[in-house]
């Protein structure tokens, strides 16, 4: 299995699991944007919390 087919399978699994396969492309873009913003905010908050908790080791 090549790398391209692996990523196609991964994308297919993501779309089927979240139900994105039945949405239009613009709706997929909106949903994925909301997910990415949520992940970025979570990452940012975790980084800030850990840096304050550990005394700036990071």
In a domain, 40, yes or no: yes
Instruction: Let me know if 20 is exposed, middle or buried by CB neighbors in 10 A (0-12, 13-18, 19+).
Output: middle
For residue 16, the Cα-to-chain-centroid distance in whole angstroms is: 15
CB 21 within 8 A of CB 15: yes
- pTM for this model (two decimals): 0.73
In a domain, 14, yes or no: no
Residue 18 has pLDDT above 70, yes or no: yes
Domain enclosing residue 49, as ranges: 24-58
Residue 51 has pLDDT above 90, yes or no: no
In a domain, 52, yes or no: yes
In a domain, 32, yes or no: yes
DSSP code, position 56:
S
- What percentage of the chain reaches a pLDDT higher than 90? 79
The C-alpha atoms of residue 29 and residue 14 are separated, in whole angstroms, by 14
Farthest CA pair distance, the chain: 47
Q: What is the mean pLDDT of the chain?
A: 92
């Amino acid at each position: 299995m090549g790398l391209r087919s692996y990523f196609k399978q991964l994308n297919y699994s993501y779309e089927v699991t979240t139900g994105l396969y039945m949405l239009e492309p613009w709706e997929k873009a909106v949903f994925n944007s909301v997910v990415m913003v949520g992940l970025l905010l979570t990452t940012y908050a975790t980084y800030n919390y850990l840096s304050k908790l550990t005394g700036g080791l990071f």
